[in-house]
Amino acid sequence: MSIYDTLSPKDFEAIGAEFDAIREDVLADLGSRDADYIRGIIKRQRQLEIGGRAMMMLPPTWLAGIGALSASKILDNMEIGHNIMHGQYDWMNDPAVSSRHFDWDTANSAEQWKRTHNYEHHTFTNVVGRDHDVGYGLLRMSEDQPWEPRFLFNAPLAVILHLFFQHFVAIQNLKLEDYLVYKTKTRAELREEFRPMWKKMRKQLAKDYALFPALAGPLAPLVFVGNVAANATRNVWACAVIFNGHFPEQVEQFDESVVDNETRGHWYVRQLLGSANFEGSKLMHIMSGNLSHQIEHHLFPDLPAHRYAEIAPRVRAVCEQYGLPYNTGSFWKQTASTWKRILRMSLPSKRQPEAAPQQPATTEARLAA
Amino acid sequence: MPAFATPQNAQRRLQPILRSKLIARLTTPHGVDRYLEQIDPLWSAFETRARVTEVTRQTADTVTLRLQPNANWQGFVPGQYLQLSVDIDGRRYTRCFSPANSCHAKDGHIELTARINPEGTLTRHLRDHAHAGMIVGLSQAAGDFALPAQRPERILLISGGSGITPVMSMLRSLCDEGHRGPITFLHYARSKEDQLYTEELEQLAARHANVTLLRSYEQGAGELYGRFSREQLESAAPDYADATTFLCGPPPMMAAVEAVWAADGLNAQLHRERFVVAASAPATAETTGGELRFVRSERLAVSDGATLLEQAEAAGLRPDYGCRMGICHACSCRKTTGRVRDIRDGRLSGDGEEDIQLCVSQPVGSVTLEL
């Protein structure tokens, strides 16, 4: 029995109103502070990118170049791309930071990603069968996913997913498992669906692995290896941040039935139960695109992410008032917890018996849920 | 101020390189402008931007800007307008203005005069904060209200208030061209203090024998008295039927002029520009009954009060959508005119161009969407 079932419809309504109020306060306060923030981050990202690519062409600064380009790609994907494409800065009315126009420096096209991420993942957060981010069709991350022998390789597959994350995300819409494992998709269908994805992937591959190495002339191998390293660094970090946000042990996954007749309050609570934060320095928050505040992000995906740290105390206060969990811990604690789940899920398991609720669920609550 | 500004011609020489396929590939997916602007906001391969070089206040309720556009500005035909974009407290606001300068200005500057709208965010901001060095966004010039390439022999310019700007550009350009035909400039203002370009108009009229300057003030004396009327016109420009006429001013004045031309069957010779956009619906209006214009699909509907997404679907359109609850932004769409209300918090949008989410927006009055 989850806490989800212990609240009354009145509680859900009140929780919905509390979170709506936080949202409205931030919306009313949006202004030049937010615009300056995102433009400042973009400026820093461009400097790191240009500097990184230049340094990588000189052997003495090669390592520093990899560091700068990795940081640039992380900023581009996390604090800039992810957040802009959520529409967090659409109110600025500037095409350069608009969710309709922005594209990011990763293999995945903006259009495809807005579909799987903004829509599927954020609407059906942690609903097994609806939110493809639960395991990406590759891993078993929840007891609600039936065990299959391939999941014995859960851990090594998770390592591979981390290393090649940008390309996995790029082809996420293909639902490769339907072709490879479940045979519900034909090769021809797959090829057809891959075509638009390849358009973006091709450009990204050409830039990092052909054009920039070519510019370096005889030092081409240096730039090629450097770009592999920078892309891999970004991949591992992005994947780790995302896993920490949804797969530490206490985070809940849900059955499809929860989304039927879900009220705004229920939706907020599901986002809360399905997400986890991690703590760290200010730099850590920026480099994670503020997804270190995954809870606040899931409650308010279209508020500028640099505001999450400011509203986190208010979110925590609501959680305390209604006895809702607020899952947070250090980066390493959440990572360890996530990998424990990955290992546990590699073996067949029945649904874990749930802890008894703090108070008996009301019939009302069960009907509403 | 940016660290260094690049002269326009140097920029023009670089343009073919900046616009090359190789640069596009190297800067994918952001594009070269997103890097150039970090060095200098005027540096751009594709976007038109300008630096404000001078701000003057000719009258109590206007502000005049001189702009140095970057190399992407393609010039304008006298009478046309452009869109000026300014960031105010993080938000970008865009409004239309007509350049008032001659199209032959050698320094490539653009001159805009904005009348301060006490309710208008952008013009009030310009009044209070416009300064030399400020960077603004520009569109290319557009509009059919423009001097034809083959200049008409006999020209009549009629303007009122700040509607003087496009016809001022026409007059200045014609004078620079040494136009020989007679030009009558008929202008209406509240008082001499409220009139724009007073000194320059007087100088132009003094220097060019073919230019007749006729002004009428509500308060105080000009060359004419009172509001526009047929009698006044017949005494001021008795040959008006032979002239190509350009008209721009406040709605009542324009209506009075249009009535005379219509009665005389001279509509084809009257070119007009409206500065005032059709009044937007008040904040308290119902969300039903307004007209929904879906521009790309060329469809019209009358609002039934549902969300724009539902109404677009009811009209047979298939806009992209996702969550239908305002979180995923899959249904973001450009609104070009009108206001919408956010059903989540009741917030009313502005009436200009902006991106809105179809699934959580109800129209308030008439709305035009790029859909």
Is it the case that residue A361 has pLDDT exceeding 70? no
Report d(CA A144, CA A158) in Å as an integer. Answer: 18
CB spacing of B26 vs A105 below 8 angstroms: no
Q: pTM, whole model, 2 decimals? A: 0.88
CB spacing of B87 vs A27 below 8 angstroms: no
Nearest Cα of chain A lies from the Cα of B314 at a distance, in angstroms, of: 22
Nearest Cα of chain B lies from the Cα of A51 at a distance, in angstroms, of: 12
pLDDT in tens, B216-268: 998 888 899 889 999 999 999 999 999 999 999 998 999 999 999 999 999 99
Which phi and psi angles does B294 have, rounded to 5°? -100, 100
Of B38, B327, B334, the CB nearest to A302: B327
Nearest Cα of chain B lies from the Cα of A333 at a distance, in angstroms, of: 30
CB spacing of B328 vs A123 below 8 angstroms: yes
Identify the burial level of B163 via C-beta atoms within 10 angstroms of its C-beta, where 0-12 means exposed, 13-18 middle and 19 or more buried: buried
Q: Distance between terminal CA atoms of chain A?
A: 12
Comparing A97-106, A273-282, A348-357, B148-157, which segment has the lowest mean pLDDT?
A348-357
B29 prior amide bond cis, ω within 30: yes
CB spacing of A93 vs B91 below 8 angstroms: yes
Name the residue of chain B whose CA is nearest to A85's CA: B329
pLDDT at A367: 40
> pLDDT band at B9, cuts 50/70/90?
confident
CB spacing of B329 vs A114 below 8 angstroms: yes
List the Cα angle A70/B328/B296 in 5-degree steps.
Answer: 110
pLDDT at A350: 64
Share of chain B above pLDDT 70, in %: 95
Question: What is the enclosing helix (H) or strand (E) of B113?
Answer: strand B110-115
Which phi and psi angles does B292 have, rounded to 5°? -100, 120
Which phi and psi angles does A30 have, rounded to 5°? -60, 140
**Helix, strand, or coil (residue B297):** coil
pLDDT at A1: 52
Report d(CA B351, CA B133) in Å as an integer. Answer: 29
Report d(CA B358, CA B319) in Å as an integer. Answer: 9
CB spacing of A24 vs B345 below 8 angstroms: yes
pLDDT at B13: 86
Residue of A354 and B33 predicted with greater confidence: B33
Give the length of chain A.
369
Number of helices and strands in chain B (H, E):
9, 17
User: Taking every pair of C-alpha atoms in chain A, what is the biggest distance, in angstroms?
Assistant: 73
Mean pLDDT of chain A: 92
Mean pLDDT confidence for B36-63: 94
Q: How many CB pairs under 8 A join A and B?
A: 111
Which one, of A237, A319, A330, A240, lies nearest residue A279 by Cα? Answer: A330
Report d(CA B356, CA B338) in Å as an integer. Answer: 11
| ipTM score | 0.89
pLDDT at A362: 37
Share of chain B above pLDDT 90, in %: 72
Which one, of B202, B192, B355, B366, lies nearest residue B279 by Cα? Answer: B366
Mean pLDDT confidence for A283-292: 98
For residues A102-126, one letter each, b for 16 or more C-beta atoms within 10 angstroms of the residue's C-beta and e for the rest, the string is bbbbbbbbbebbbbbbbbbbbbbbb
pLDDT in tens, B196-226: 999 999 999 999 999 999 999 988 888 998 8
pLDDT at B96: 87
